[in-house]
A and B are shown apart, each in its own frame.
Chain A
Amino acid sequence: MTVLAVADHRRGDLRDVSFELLTAGRELADAAGTDLHAAVVSGDTESFAEDLNRGGVDHVHAVEHGEEFNHDVYAQAVEALATDLNAEFVLVPNSVNGLDYAPAVATRTGRTYVSDAIDLAYDDALEVTREMYGSKVETTVEVADGPFVVSIRGAEWPAAEGVGDAETSTFDVDIDEDAVGSTVKGFEEVGGGDVDIADANFLVSIGRGIEEEENLELVEALAETTGATLSSSRPIVDNGWLPKNRQVGQSGKQVTPDVYLAIGISGAVQHVAGMKGADTIIAINTDPNAPIYDIADYGIVGDLFDVVPALIEEFGGEPPSV
């Protein structure tokens, strides 16, 4: 049977979700009465393997090949390992790299793929809890036929801790270089510029609720009046209304200000990943069910176009008419 958990790393570091993956993998292995195998592909496999040897891990496999992620190499390596171990469950992170190779492994090995799990249960059939319609609902999906490839959402399971007594071994895969049709040329840091929102102690952050680019004037006035720094959720940057260096979230910046004032931001998981470390989170939103309230310390259910002008006046400013 076997659970195979494949770690994620980038530029010399294992990513946090790799250790969360071990916790999810151990739970699944217990439910199915089997062993948990961890794997790491490419990079400094020796030190990665040592770090992956945490409580609950039975075996760590290291596949030495190159430094950084390449989906062709990962797909080949994980296919070979999963086949060799006859793994019933292949667990990967639902990360950008996971998205880039896990569906290929599933297709190639005839495994059923389910992505972005937030909970897992196994009792003869696999039960995956996942969200639909952008966090509006949760669903339980029963997947009858194994074997499976499942990707898990970050920050849903605690990281595995402690030092385990896993056996570590190198797994040799003959990577077919002719089948490698993609070449990673390098990396680029984006979102530099004049302002570093990660340094701010008070962020006024704006989301889709602002509706139109012209209305940004309103939150700019609030930021100016209160001495706050302006940041935003993804759609505002996608629309080109603010530069990339203002984006808070998984693909933007992680911020930890004293106060994070989220205005018209629903609180999608990708956004929350970037701001949950703020000391105090205040949310203004028209939808009382918006997930942002799950992590907010203070909530205002109301229309930002009423509350923000009143707040500007409260601090002696002149709200623009929008």
Chain B
Amino acid sequence: MKVLVTVKEVAAVEDDFEISGTEIESTYLDYDLNEWDDYAVEEGVQLAEAGDDVEVVAVTIGPERSEETIRMALAKGADRAVRVWDDAIEDVELLDVETKAQLLAAVVEDEDPDIVLSGVQANDDSFGATGVALAEELDFQWAAVVNALDTEKVLDEGVASVHRELEGGVEELTDVELPAVLTIQTGINEPRYASLRGIRQAQSKEIAPKSLDDLGLDAGVVESSLDVTAMYEPETESDAEYIEGDAGEQAVALADVLRDKGVVGE
């Protein structure tokens, strides 16, 4: 069995930052593996550990810089990685969902996995759509926002028996035929930390670069229909009363508020 996990290196923004044009200045960005993808990698590795002969392949769309992040997925147990990049992609400010799905679909068609695990969304652009669009592109089945997966059933019966996390503490129990794309929600498992041994092994694992040409795609595929025309900090709507002073003074004033509201006695 083959499991393919889509991973993305995302930028987190520091508390204080500056915007230049329609981008955040790069000095205020810290790069890391997308939080949702960390759970997807763990779910893939758990499938590999529970089954015989399960290969886990991580796939990313990202520049050379992202190899450091992708290597973390390898250190946690993915067997190898594919990194899609091209000068034509570099020029696009914001890739649209369709483009990402088409790029990843080309890799999936090469790899022919039984199951694709993808984070529900990425912390940067938060489209929350790549996994389902990818499934549709491939004519795979899918399930979005999965927070439980029955590993045994995947391995023994070829069915993804999942819980989908709905709003308000309700979960939907759904069976999905394979091949399928599952979008993985945080909390589905406890992502491991990479061991020193894992980090060492990851150094010798393959990260295969793929250009559009390698994937048999032409540059037209990355033409984005999205154009970011403005980026700004949201206007604060705060009319909070701020409690000033040092921590001791703040605690005294806060205690008064709590007593005044009647939720704490003397």
Q: Using CB atoms and an 8 Å cutoff, list the residues of chain A in contact with chain B.
A: 10, 15, 69, 71, 75, 94-97, 99-104, 106-108, 112-116, 127, 130-145, 181-191, 201-202, 226-228, 234-235, 237-240, 244, 247, 250-254, 258-259, 261, 279-280, 282-283, 286-287, 289, 291, 293-294, 296-303, 306-307, 310-311, 313-315
The 9 listed contacts between A and B (C-beta, < 8 Å) are A10-B166, A96-B165, A104-B132, A113-B98, A136-B24, A141-B228, A183-B174, A298-B254, A313-B251
Shortest Cβ gap from B258 to chain A (Å): 7
Taking CB atoms, residues of chain B closer than 8 Å to A286 are 15
**Residue in B123, B173, B190 whose beta carbon sits within 8 Å of that of A184 in the complex:** B173
Q: Using CB atoms and an 8 Å cutoff, list the residues of chain B in contact with chain A.
A: 11-13, 15-17, 19, 22, 24, 94, 96-98, 101, 120, 123-133, 135-137, 141-145, 163-177, 180, 183, 186-187, 190, 225-234, 236-238, 240-243, 246-248, 250-252, 254-255, 257-258, 261-265
- Check B261 against A294 for contact (C-beta < 8 Å): no
**Residue in B97, B123, B176, B227 whose beta carbon sits within 8 Å of that of A133 in the complex:** B123
Shortest Cβ gap from B90 to chain A (Å): 19
Shortest Cβ gap from A175 to chain B (Å): 16
Q: How far, in angstroms, from A107 to B11 measured CA to CA in the complex?
A: 27
- Check B264 against A182 for contact (C-beta < 8 Å): no
- Check B168 against A254 for contact (C-beta < 8 Å): yes
Shortest Cβ gap from B64 to chain A (Å): 23
What is the interface of chain B mostly: helix, strand, loop, or mixed? mixed
Taking CB atoms, residues of chain B closer than 8 Å to A228 are 263-264
Instruction: Given A138-B234, A234-B187, A315-B255, decide whether A143 and B225 contact each other with a Cβ distance below 8 A.
Output: yes
Looking at A181, A261, A279, A287, the one whose CB has the most chain B CB atoms below 10 A away is A181
- Check A115 against B240 for contact (C-beta < 8 Å): no
- Check A71 against B142 for contact (C-beta < 8 Å): yes
Instruction: Given A104-B135, A140-B228, A184-B174, decide whether A294 and B237 contact each other with a Cβ distance below 8 A.
Output: yes
Shortest Cβ gap from B193 to chain A (Å): 13
- Check B169 against A252 for contact (C-beta < 8 Å): yes
- Check A294 against B135 for contact (C-beta < 8 Å): no
Q: How far, in angstroms, from A301 to B263 measured CA to CA in the complex?
A: 22
- Check A202 against B226 for contact (C-beta < 8 Å): no
Taking CB atoms, residues of chain A closer than 8 Å to B257 are 280, 282, 298
For residue B130, which residue of chain A has the nearest CB?
A: A103
Shortest Cβ gap from B212 to chain A (Å): 20
**Residue in B129, B231, B250, B258 whose beta carbon sits within 8 Å of that of A302 in the complex:** B250
Taking CB atoms, residues of chain A closer than 8 Å to B262 are 258
**Residue in B145, B225, B246, B254 whose beta carbon sits within 8 Å of that of A99 in the complex:** B145
Q: How far, in angstroms, from A132 to B174 measured CA to CA in the complex?
A: 31
Instruction: Given A258-B263, A294-B236, decide whether A138 and B231 contact each other with a Cβ distance below 8 A.
Output: yes
- Check A137 against B236 for contact (C-beta < 8 Å): no
Taking CB atoms, residues of chain A closer than 8 Å to B230 are 139-140
Taking CB atoms, residues of chain A closer than 8 Å to B248 are 310
Q: How far, in angstroms, from A289 to B174 measured CA to CA in the complex?
A: 40
Q: How far, in angstroms, from A187 to B132 measured CA to CA in the complex?
A: 22
Q: How far, in angstroms, from A234 to B170 measured CA to CA in the complex?
A: 15
- Check B24 against A240 for contact (C-beta < 8 Å): no
Instruction: Given A145-B225, A258-B262, A314-B255, decide whether A251 and B250 contact each other with a Cβ distance below 8 A.
Output: no
Taking CB atoms, residues of chain A closer than 8 Å to B165 are 96, 251
- Check B170 against A258 for contact (C-beta < 8 Å): no
**Residue in A144, A184, A185, A300 whose beta carbon sits within 8 Å of that of B242 in the complex:** A300
Instruction: Given A96-B164, A140-B228, decide whether A71 and B169 contact each other with a Cβ distance below 8 A.
Output: no
- Check B236 against A100 for contact (C-beta < 8 Å): no
Instruction: Given A133-B12, A181-B141, decide whether A112 and B98 contact each other with a Cβ distance below 8 A.
Output: yes
